[in-house]
Structure 1
């Protein structure tokens, strides 16, 4: 082997080693978001996301996965919402009307006879959502549906472009978009929207 060939081989090995060293590691990227969100999660102190029940999943959301905003665990939304009425509220951290509506939903959820409420954060970073909930004093269980233009929950619900958007998931598993009112201004409107299910 000539000196030139040895140097070429050594350079090639060094180049491959450098490329491998610079490649992202799966375990690093999986751990980092949890570490980054730990302080924000602690400050937000969200209620736990609903656990899957023994009943069949909500068909429209069957197999749809999202991360629980409070602890980062992946949940099957269709199974978690099955069996009892749930008010699902889709919001984003940049949404000004959401800042008004989220505290109302928190207030409603504390009332006797209220149906469960689940928030779905969309189109904004999880950390921004956690910071907003902490700022507003809203501790409702919430899932993170990604910060892109569409996430699995948003796609399954066919969420309109203007936020917030609310849905009633009935005990029988029907999903109903709440069109009137589009924005809740008081807890009486929330109670009327969920009707006889509360």
Structure 2
């Protein structure tokens, strides 16, 4: 082999080594989000909003107050021991006690979930129709409360809700790691049905509460 050919091979080897050295390792180009009617539990980076910005958004959103306990939590209630912040005002909510004694629909959602955006207005319509006969409580399943409030303002949704970036409610209720999920809870705090799909109308929600909770609205 000639000297020129040997130097050409050496140069090619050096170029190949440089490419291997700078090639990125262990980093995905995009988050893995499943298709279908539900969105997988991808979560954007966490940040802590200022209390001032949260206060302004809460005032603008005008959310309904979270339910307050009217009786002790029943023994064996699925949500026993879970206390979360109310999105409306930041107050602490003992969930098991807050929903005790009344049929409850708990809806898990997140600000980045497209099917949730379509479903939430239907939940608002159902809650307006149901009045005091059924609790409707949303659970924002992401740590970014500021974006949650912004989305609720955009959707004109004023439902009471709690902030659950750690997924405590999902685990306690045995819900799958997809969004949205609605969980129907009996007055005694036990789970009647887990529904991991978006509702398409208030009538669909009413049919589910009639079937699994025995409440006709």
| 2:105/2:134 contact within 8 Å kept | yes
- RMSD of Structure 2 on Structure 1 (CA): 2.0
* Partner in structure 2 of residue 151 of structure 1: 167
* Cα deviation, residue 63, structure 1: 1.3
Q: Could you tell me whether the CA contact under 8 Å between 1:34 and 1:72 is conserved in 2?
A: no
- The corresponding residue for 1:45 is 62
SS at match of 1:197: coil
Unaligned runs of 5+ in 2: 1-48
The corresponding residue for 2:157 is 138
Aligned counterparts of 1:52 and 1:121: Cα–Cα separation in 2? 20
Q: Equivalent residue of 1:139, what SS?
A: coil
Aligned-partner Cα distance in 2 for 1:48–1:123: 20
Q: Does 2:181 correspond to 1:165?
A: yes
Structure (1/2) with the larger helix percentage: 1
Please give the residue correspondences for 1:14-163 in structure 2 after superposition, counting only pairs within 5 Å: 33-57=50-74, 59-112=77-130, 115-146=134-165, 150-163=166-179
Deviation at 1:105, TM superposition (A): 0.3
Q: Which of 180, 192, 196 is the matching residue for 2:207?
A: 192
Distance between the aligned counterparts of 1:127 and 1:158, measured in 2?
A: 27
Q: Retained in 2: the 8 A contact 1:97–1:183?
A: yes
Per the TM alignment, residue 173 of structure 1 is displaced from its structure 2 partner at its CA by 1.9
Q: State the alpha-carbon separation in 1 of the partners of residues 186 and 154 from structure 2.
A: 31
For structure 1, the residue ranges without an aligned partner over 5 or more in a row are 1-31
- Structure 1 pair 88/77, CA: closer, same or farther in 2 (3 Å)? same
Q: Could you tell me how far 1:112 is from its partner in structure 2?
A: 4.5
For 1:143 and 1:33, locate their aligned partners in 2 and report how far apart those are by CA, in whole Å: 18
Residue 152 (structure 1) shift = 2.1
2:29 maps to which residue?
none
The higher radius of gyration belongs to 2
1:45-68 CA-to-partner distances (Å, cap 9, x unmatched) read 100000012243462111101100
